[in-house]
Chains A and B, each alone.
Chain A
Amino acid sequence: MDRLDRTKELLMRALDDELAPEEQRELDALLADDPKLRAEHDSLGRLKEVTGTMKLRHPPEELWDDYWNTAYSRVERGIGWILVSFGVIVVGGWAGWQFVTDLIADTGMPPLIKAGILAGSLGLVILTVSVLRQRLFVRQTDPYKDIQR
């Protein structure tokens, strides 16, 4: 370990009361020799005093009563969403396929109209997926969405 790293380590240990007696003597010698290091030591000591007067804000005590129930309902909702998504994909896929095959098999309809209906349906699907994807992306990345003025 080089001198700088060793000095940093001693400074940190001193601030956090994790210094062994021999390390304290080593640090004292370094501080006596180096006014810049002494100034840094004192500055970090004052910082430690300032942060020592602060703590993390406690939430209302009632929050803990429902903490696990709320979290557990996510598990249930997750399972529900998986089942719903699976059902929608299977039924929607089957219905789409039926629609396309029936449309193609329909001999009474002019080919141009068939192509128009297919293009319109495909476009609608692409637009829907695109909008949903965009909304999901914004929801996940917009850093200002929940800021209340």
Chain B
Amino acid sequence: MSAGSTDMPESALMALASRGDEAAFGELVRRNMRRAYFSALGLTGSHEDALDLSQEAFTRALRASRRLDPERPFYPWLYGILRRLCLNHLRDGRARSVKLETAGSWLVAESRERAAETGPERTTEREELRRRVAAAIEALTPIQREVLLLREFEGLRYAEIAALLEVPEGTVMSRLYAARKALATALEDEL
């Protein structure tokens, strides 16, 4: 691979990776590792599992790299692998590396610093709300959780979510509605 690989367009890296160039594949990993990790974190709710499953997705992608199509974007292809791994992991009820006192800690209140300025009582309230939101999201079905996370935490538009999941936009909205209704019910006292 050339020295300027970090500036290479994705399609060029994919073409190289599909011919067995591991450095080009490494660059694809570097560009997509954060996104893959956060997708897995949202689905599994565990840092260890998210790290493990996202890395596993990349190793499987490497083994299947001959099938890479440079005409199509890399991440949706990788996401297909990652999604299957995460859903199988959840379906099989495999262990999640969770400390009881830090359950739900995959989610953080964005304005924690500002909240801290308003006093300890407010901070405690926000922390309690964060815990309840995390627990309510964890109680959703994996399919509902996935679409909620893609929309709320990754900020994807419906068309992007539909393309990633290979479903119609109507299905995205329907899953999102079910997820939000379930969350609203679980957090009724807070809303």
Minimum CB–CB distance for B93 against chain A, Å: 5
A46 close to B191 (CB less than 8 A): yes
> Is residue B6 contacting chain A, with contact meaning CB distance below 8 A?
no
A12 close to B176 (CB less than 8 A): yes
> What is the CA–CA distance of A140 and B94 in the complex, to the nearest angstrom?
5
CB-defined contacts of A48 to chain B, threshold 8 Å: 180
In chain A, residues 36-86, which have Cβ atoms closer than 8 Å to a Cβ of chain B? 43-44, 46-48, 50-57, 59, 63-64, 67-68, 70-72, 74-75, 78
> Is residue A135 contacting chain B, with contact meaning CB distance below 8 A?
no
Minimum CB–CB distance for B11 against chain A, Å: 20
> Is residue A22 contacting chain B, with contact meaning CB distance below 8 A?
no
Residue of B nearest to A15 (CB): B180
CB-defined contacts of A55 to chain B, threshold 8 Å: 107-108, 110, 153
B58 close to A18 (CB less than 8 A): no
> What is the CA–CA distance of A82 and B158 in the complex, to the nearest angstrom?
43
Which 3 A/B pairs are nearest by Cβ-Cβ distance? A71-B55, A146-B97, A12-B173
18 contacts between A and B (CB under 8 A): A12-B180, A16-B157, A16-B176, A18-B158, A44-B184, A48-B180, A50-B133, A50-B191, A55-B153, A56-B149, A57-B41, A67-B33, A68-B30, A71-B56, A75-B59, A140-B94, A141-B92, A143-B95
